[in-house]
């Protein structure tokens, strides 16, 4: 080795050492900042202050012409980013249907980022692909779905609805000799799509993305809880996609699958279930009854980031016959892997993708069957406690609280909206509003593993105070 070669190699090895040391120091600091954030989340208002949101402007400005040290970047994130987040991990965020993030899922997400795996193909990450397979099977078991069901981990229930419905579209058109993936929908035989008046907007969005049309659907009337009326179903046949719902985003109610599915199956319709959060009720012996009949469907969409508290983002598409999903989603290029093994990208709208299945695996592994059941039971009990406390104070609960969703009317649309605004500004907890069958309501969705009885009582007191004005 020449002198100059040896100098070069010793310089580069010391450079590598210092890069590693700097990275280690940075990651320790990031871990400290993250822990600092989580430890402080209980003491801060759930919604960020207006001041914190305004201070985000400090992060604006043109992209600097040269580099910024990673320490400075991290410092900026924690100083300005952390205070303007919504305190979802406080256990007192009851907006939308947002859970928190289980410790095991959070830690797994740090590992996933450190690994930087591309979970597209087995050769790119055996760990990511195998853990995703295991997690999908655990989800299937927890939801009580048929053996052989397979699917994909995606970004959320919207993409899960999209993915599952793409399998439905494939199958119905293939039955009529039409190759929709190759030839598209122009000139294709028509498909009938049946949804309820209360289908979640993500289902109609998915139908739009698939070329089936957001509005080109038959809408079945619902009852006072938002359940599809089995007696009002149109004619179903082998050319029909029937979309059911397990867990209405407002009331938590379930379509009567046991009354609908046997006949729909006999007619040859493809039954799809949007069970973004509600399907997880199947994991709880106490709530399992609501999910009866949904196992007869052909496809299901659900979320890891809602009731199982896996952290964002994590959705799951499941299909009784995974071949149909593969037919809709597979991707072909000379440099990509084909073959017999289950390759995620042949079941997924994505090619390159985060190893979300690892976080799902970790969260479910940490919970076990009983842990998942307890989240469902505990949060539903909290919902009932909210409903009882609000009803006792004279306010009207608009829904039957069957799972974790509560709708409350504070007397008039104005009073309800003013209560929601005062509550959000006060900061003890966070709830949003909705309109339920013509009535303005505050929504309480108890979805976080972290919510305690004390959180409920503190939040209830804040709600009653906000209602008084
Ligand atoms: C019933 C239902 N379906 C679908 C979705 C959409 O889920 P995501 O936001 O994960 O795409 C939601 C969200 O709340 C939902 O409640």
pLDDT digits (tens, 9 = 90+) for 345-392: 999 999 999 999 999 999 999 999 999 999 999 999 999 999 999 999
- For residue 313, which of 162, 101, 119, 456 has the smallest C-alpha distance? 101
Predicted TM-score (pTM) of this structure: 0.96
Q: How far apart are CA 285 and CA 291, in angstroms?
A: 11
- Find tokens 């600097």 and name the residue: 64
Mean pLDDT of the residues in the chain: 96
3-state helix, strand, coil in the chain (%, to 5): 50, 15, 35
Residue 394 has pLDDT above 50, yes or no: yes
Contact criterion met (CB below 8 Å) for 278 and 403: yes
pLDDT of residue 6: 44
- Find tokens 């959180």 and name the residue: 455
Per DSSP (E only), the strands in 86-227 are: 150-154, 192-196, 218-220
CA distances from 253 to 228, 232, 250, 343, 347 (A): 10, 17, 8, 36, 30
pLDDT of residue 337: 87
- For residue 242, which of 208, 183, 191 has the smallest C-alpha distance? 191
Per residue in 218-276, pLDDT (tens digit) is 999 999 999 999 999 999 999 999 999 999 999 999 999 999 999 999 999 999 999 99
Mean pLDDT of all residues in 418-425:
98
- Give the residue whose CA is nearest to atom 16 of ligand 1: 249
In this structure, the dihedral spanned by the alpha carbons of residues 335, 338, 341 and 342, taken in order and rounded to 10 degrees, is 90
* Closest ligand 1 atom, residue 247 Cα: 1
Q: How far apart are CA 409 and CA 418, in angstroms?
A: 12
Strand, coil or helix: 27: helix
Q: How far does the centroid of ligand 1 lie from the alpha carbon of residue 99, in Å?
A: 12
Per residue in 75-133, pLDDT (tens digit) is 999 999 999 999 999 999 999 999 999 999 999 999 999 999 999 999 999 999 999 99
Q: How far apart are CA 437 and CA 414, in angstroms?
A: 16
Contact criterion met (CB below 8 Å) for 273 and 244: yes
Residues within 6 Å of ligand 1 by CB = 96-97, 156-158, 200, 202, 247, 249, 274, 276-277, 303, 315
């Amino acid at each position: 080795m020449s002198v100059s070669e040896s100098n070069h190699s010793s310089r580069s090895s010391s450079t590598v050492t210092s890069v590693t040391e700097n990275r280690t120091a940075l990651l320790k600091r990031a871990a400290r900042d993250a822990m600092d954030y989580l430890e402080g989340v209980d003491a801060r208002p759930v919604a960020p202050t207006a001041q914190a949101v305004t201070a985000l402007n400090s992060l604006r400005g043109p992209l600097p012409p040269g580099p910024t040290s990673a320490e400075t970047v991290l410092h900026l994130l924690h100083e300005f980013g952390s205070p303007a987040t919504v305190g979802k991990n406080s256990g007192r965020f009851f907006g939308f249907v947002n859970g928190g993030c289980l410790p095991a899922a959070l830690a797994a997400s740090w590992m996933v980022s450190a690994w930087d795996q591309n979970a597209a193909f087995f050769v790119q990450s055996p760990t990511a692909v195998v853990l995703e397979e295991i997690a999908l099977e655990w989800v299937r078991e927890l939801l009580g779905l048929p053996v052989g069901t397979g699917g994909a981990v995606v970004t959320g229930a919207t993409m899960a609805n999209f993915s599952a419905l793409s399998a439905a579209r494939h199958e119905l058109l293939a039955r009529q000799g039409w190759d929709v993936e190759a030839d598209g929908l122009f000139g294709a035989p028509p498909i009938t799509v049946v949804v309820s008046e209360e289908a979640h907007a993500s289902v109609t969005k998915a139908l739009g993305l698939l070329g089936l049309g957001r509005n080109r659907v038959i809408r079945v009337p619902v009852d006072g809880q938002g359940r599809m009326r089995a007696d009002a179903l149109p004619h179903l046949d082998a050319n029909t996609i029937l979309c059911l719902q397990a867990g209405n985003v407002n009331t938590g109610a379930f379509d009567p699958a046991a009354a609908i599915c046997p006949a729909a199956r006999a007619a040859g319709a493809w039954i799809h279930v949007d069970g973004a959060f509600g399907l997880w009720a199947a994991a709880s012996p106490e709530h399992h009854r609501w999910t009866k009949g949904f196992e007869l469907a052909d496809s299901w969409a659900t979320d890891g980031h809602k009731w199982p508290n896996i952290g964002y983002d994590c959705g799951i598409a499941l299909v009784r016959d995974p071949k149909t999903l593969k037919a809709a989603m597979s991707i072909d290029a000379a440099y990509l892997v084909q073959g017999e093994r289950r390759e995620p990208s042949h079941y997924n709208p994505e090619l390159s993708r985060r190893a979300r299945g690892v976080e799902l695996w970790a969260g479910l592994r940490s919970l076990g069957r009983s842990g998942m059941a307890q989240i469902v039971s505990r949060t539903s009990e909290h919902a009932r406690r909210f409903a009882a406390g609000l009803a006792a104070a004279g306010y009207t609960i608009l829904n039957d609280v069957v799972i974790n969703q509560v709708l409350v009317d504070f007397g008039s649309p104005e009073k309800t909206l003013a209560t929601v605004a005062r509550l959000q500004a006060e900061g003890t907890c966070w709830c949003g509003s909705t309109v339920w069958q013509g009535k303005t309501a505050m929504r309480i969705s108890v979805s976080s593993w972290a919510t305690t009885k004390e959180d409920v009582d503190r939040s209830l007191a804040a709600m009653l105070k906000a209602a008084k004005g």
